[in-house]
Amino acid sequence: MADVSVLRDKYRQEKQALWSSISDSAANGRGLKPTLVRLAKLADKLLIELWCNAGFDQGEALIAVGGYGRGELFPSSDVDVLVLLPDSVIAEDSPELKTKLETFIGSCWDSGLEIGSSVRTLGDCIEESEKDITVKTSLLESRLITGNAKLYKQFQKRYQDAMDPYAFFVAKTLELNQRHNKFENTPYSLEPNCKESPGGLRDLQIILRLSKSNAMKLF
């Protein structure tokens, strides 16, 4: 079992080396995506080691979601993860599993990862995504980091079967309009928010998400 302090120091060194390679190069916007991918892979590597340390053994899977699920990690972004449990496993009824979850999540923070974490069964994921568009969007951009690959494939199938492209399109359009109104509904503000303002990064991500949900086929 690897010591968390050793893993933390190694992660920080590798992350610093990545930033140094950027500052020492003639990096520009075109080189940003490979850098974000490399940063995500660093986080993947650390999470896999911490997952093994925790000793999960009931068929669980560790899933990356949201922007991190796309395989991109911005410097100040949270590392959003889902611990996916089989429907037959109830964390509240298993002190051993609860201890492993607490150990894993605690070690993530101790090792320098600022994670956003959730623990759900496969059924919980589908139920919550039907009630909350934020959850549905986050799960749309998911990938397996480590653990039970069969469980993750089951999740993917059930999620896609439950996806209503038209309802997703309506919800995301409403979300976009509300955000545009909040940020003055103009791309020409004196100090525009490059992430949330009209024409910003969020708008690009909505196009990609609608395409992935098959909503574009409605038109």
Rounded Cα–Cα distance for residues 169 and 109 (Å): 36
The residue with tokens 């909505």 is 206
Rounded to two decimals, what is the model's pTM? 0.80
Q: Is 205 exposed, middle or buried (0-12, 13-18, 19+ CB in 10 A)?
A: middle
| Cα-based torsion angle of the residue sequence 168, 162, 66, 96 in order, rounded to the nearest 10 degrees | 150
- State the CATH class of domain 4-162: alpha beta
Q: Which of 147, 118, 144, 140 is CA-nearest to residue 58?
A: 147
Which tokens is 79 given?
């590392």
Rounded Cα–Cα distance for residues 213 and 190 (Å): 34
Please, are residues 83 and 117 in contact by the beta-carbon 8 Å criterion? yes
pLDDT in tens, the chain (219 residues): 678 888 888 888 888 887 776 665 555 556 677 888 888 999 999 999 999 999 998 899 999 998 899 888 887 788 999 999 999 988 888 899 999 999 999 999 999 898 999 999 999 999 999 999 889 999 998 999 999 999 999 999 999 999 888 888 888 888 877 877 776 666 555 566 666 666 666 666 766 666 767 655 555
